[in-house]
Amino acid sequence: MIFSPNWIAKNLFDGANVTIELPVGNPQAPPRFTVDTVRLLVTAQRVVVIPTLESEAALGRMESTAIKILELLPHTPLSAAGINFHYEDPDPPHDLLALFRFPDAARIDDLGFTTDAWSLTRTLTKDDFRVNFSTALDAGSANLDFNFHREVNDPLVAAAYLKGRVLACLGVARAILGQYDLVGGVPD
């Protein structure tokens, strides 16, 4: 496995100590490698880079780590690159709740069903941004997921695409959250 603690420390974090967390009770979960404000989850199918703090500085460090991985491994098979944000509101505003008034709800209810959870997924495109935007309502809590997606099979092209993109995507997510009067801090 390329992503050993020694390789991560040497190639991604200038020799910094790497904290390793191994899954207990779930052998399918990947180990977690953490250095400062960046966490890596590595599986056979993907590498996920996550900030450990909710700050723009941590997002910047996360972005630079992802770019460095792509640049160091230019022959790695790749199908896409993505930037994801999740926002949860336990008490969603009226404008957001109104999205879940589906025209067929009464007909479904007439059949004796109760709707326990609602979801709405859209793909939005603007300039070179493509975002899969999902909104779900479950037990009164709203979850909004933003997946900024780019199909790309060349790691160096993906690295170039990601430069400066994380904070730009955060800005788009905040703008969309603002349409529902939600405060868009740095989502988890």
- Mean pLDDT (the chain, rounded): 91
pLDDT value of position 1? 64
Q: Of 25-29, 40-44, 108-112, 117-121, which gets the smallest average pLDDT?
A: 25-29
> Which of 114, 70, 86 has its CA nearest to residue 173?
86
Other Cβ atoms closer than 10 A to 72: 14
The segment with the largest mean pLDDT, out of 8-12, 95-99, 112-116, is 8-12
Q: What is the distance between the alpha carbons of residues 34 and 164, in angstroms, rounded to a whole number?
A: 22
The segment with the largest mean pLDDT, out of 101-110, 161-170, 178-187, is 161-170
- SS3 for the chain is CCCCHHHHHHHHCCCCCCEEECCCCCCCCCCEEEECCEEEEECCCCEEEEECCCCHHHHHHHHHHHHHHHHHCCCCCCCEEEEEEEEEECCCCHHHHHHHCCCCHHHHHHCCCCCCEEEEEEEEEECCEEEEEEEEEECCEEEEEEEEEEECCCHHHHHHHHCCHHHHHHHHHHHHHHCCCCCCCCCC
pLDDT value of position 88? 93
pLDDT value of position 184? 57
Output the CA–CA distances (angstroms, integers) from residue 52 to 31, 37, 102, in the order listed: 15, 5, 37
Question: What average pLDDT score do residues 110-115 get?
Answer: 92
Q: Cα 181 from chain centroid?
A: 21
Give yes or no for residue 183 having a pLDDT over 80: no
| % pLDDT > 90, the chain | 72
pLDDT value of position 181? 82
Q: What is the distance between the alpha carbons of residues 134 and 127, in angstroms, rounded to a whole number?
A: 20
pLDDT value of position 158? 96
Q: What is the tens place of the pLDDT at every residue in 74-84? A: 999 999 999 99
Domain ranges of the chain: 1-73, 81-188
Give yes or no for residue 96 having a pLDDT over 80: yes
Q: What is the tens place of the pLDDT at every residue in 45-73? A: 899 999 999 899 999 999 999 999 999 99
Give yes or no for residue 188 having a pLDDT over 60: no
Could you tell me the pLDDT band of residue 180, with boundaries at 50, 70 and 90? confident
Per the structure block, which two tokens stand in for 117? 């959870």
- Do residues 187 and 173 touch, judged by C-beta distance below 8 A? yes
